[in-house]
Amino acid sequence: MFDREKIGETLDDSAGEAFDKVAKMMGLGYPGGPIIDKLAAEYTSKFRKIFPEVLLEKDSLNFSFSGLKSAVKREVDRRGKLTEGDKKEIAFEFQQTVVNILTHKLFLAAEKNSIQSLVLAG
């Protein structure tokens, strides 16, 4: 069959948990992933990178979403009562940032380990 080896992991919440917590911050309901994805898909502007892409140490394959969640919380608090446009923008920016982090780690893992096939699961 296949050999598997864990080469990286979350240091706090998983990506799915981060989606749930961000949705809760925004008053969107549970589970957060499908709700945020739907709102993000309705956003029509470009990616502005309003949230930090926390990559940890230079060559680390681990990831952390606590800083990103804190940044989203600050943004939600700063905006106050969220409009539908705010919700779409925050959902899009958050989701894109998570995707960028996971994609970066995935390609770093492939490069560091000379891997041709990877599976990202959560």
What pLDDT digit, counting tens, does each position of 52-76 carry? 998 888 889 999 999 999 999 999 9
Cα–Cα distance measured from residue 45 to residue 22, given in angstroms and rounded to the nearest whole number? 20
Cα–Cα distance measured from residue 47 to residue 90, given in angstroms and rounded to the nearest whole number? 10
Indicate the domain borders of the chain: 15-113
- Burial class of 108 by CB neighbour count within 10 A (0 to 12, 13 to 18, 19+): middle
Note the pLDDT of residue 65. 95
Query: pLDDT confidence of 120, banded at 50, 70, 90?
Result: low
Note the pLDDT of residue 122. 59
Is residue 117 scored above 90 in pLDDT? no
Q: Which CATH class is domain 15-113?
A: alpha beta
At 108, give phi and psi (nearest 5°).
Answer: -65, -40
Strand segments (E) across 5-101: none
| Global pTM value | 0.90
Task: Give Cα 74 distance to the centre of its chain.
Answer: 16
Q: How many CB atoms lie within 10 A of CB 43?
A: 18
Cα–Cα distance measured from residue 68 to residue 98, given in angstroms and rounded to the nearest whole number? 9
